[in-house]
A = this chain, B = another copy of it.
Amino acid sequence: MGSVIKVFIAEDQTMVRELLMNLLATEKNLEVIGSAANGLEAVRKINQLRPDLLILDAFMPGMNAVEVFNDIRNKLPKMRVLIISAHENASLVRQVLELGIHGFVEKSAPMDDLLLGVRKVAQGEVYFGPKIRALVRRVAGEKIEAMENLTNREKQIVKMIAESKTTKEIAYDLEISIKTVENHRTNLMAKLKLRDIAAVTRFAIEQGMVQTSSPR
């Protein structure tokens, strides 16, 4: 590969964004062609600029990395993606693996690991930071597995329960009977081995399905 690789940076933390831009400016073969500080801006600019490599912060205002990726993957199937994240979130890591994203580095990693990740992913290889590798090993099981056992309907209802919706309201919203919602609730709680609404709510928050600052 002799040509220059066009890089786009999507990162809401100004400090990190600036650092990356300065850092990559000194790299041969790389050219930073743009940046964004939130998900929507990122999607718009990426579609326009069509970079070869996207460095994407895991959590940005509005959209997370997976949502951004889903919005652009079909339009730019050859683009390579490196996720950087402040948190080693098990659920996110799993989604990232499933989506076939090429790299994931935690922000607490040494700078060398970050640069290595950028270079590897830029060259078409795959790279995961040390903590992410450890997490992938450790986490193969646990709640993520339980989460996978939930049907789409059940996931939908977990979220609504954690948002303080009552069974009646859920039934109305989904246009199904109260009894069906009760059955789904019973089944999902059994699968997750949870016994009450408080536990379901904690689970949903942990999985990033709802925020603490939900309505009501």
Interface residues of A (CB under 8 A from B): 12-16, 18-20, 37, 61, 86, 107-111, 114, 161-164, 166, 194-203, 205-206, 210-214, 216
Contacts and interface: CB of A to CB of B under 8 A. Distances in A.
A64 to B, nearest CB: 14
Contact of A14 (B110, B196, B206): B110
B198 A107 contact: no
16 contacts: A12-B108, A14-B111, A15-B15, A15-B20, A15-B107, A15-B111, A16-B16, A86-B86, A163-B198, A164-B202, A198-B200, A198-B201, A202-B210, A202-B211, A203-B212, A205-B205
**This chain: copies in complex:** 2
Given A197-B197, A199-B164, A13 B16 contact: yes
A196 B109 contact: no
Nearest to A59: B86
A108 B20 contact: no
Q: Which 7 A-B pairs have the closest CB atoms?
A: A206-B212, A13-B107, A201-B201, A19-B19, A164-B198, A202-B212, A197-B197
A126 B31 CA distance: 39
A200 B201 CA distance: 10
Contacts of A197: 196-198, 201
A164 B15 CA distance: 39
Given A14-B110, A14-B111, A61-B108, 5 more contacts: A14-B109, A15-B20, A16-B19, A163-B198, A166-B196
Contacts of A114: 14-15
B205 A212 contact: yes
A197 B14 CA distance: 38
Contacts of A212: 202-203, 205-206
Contacts of A199: 164, 214, 216
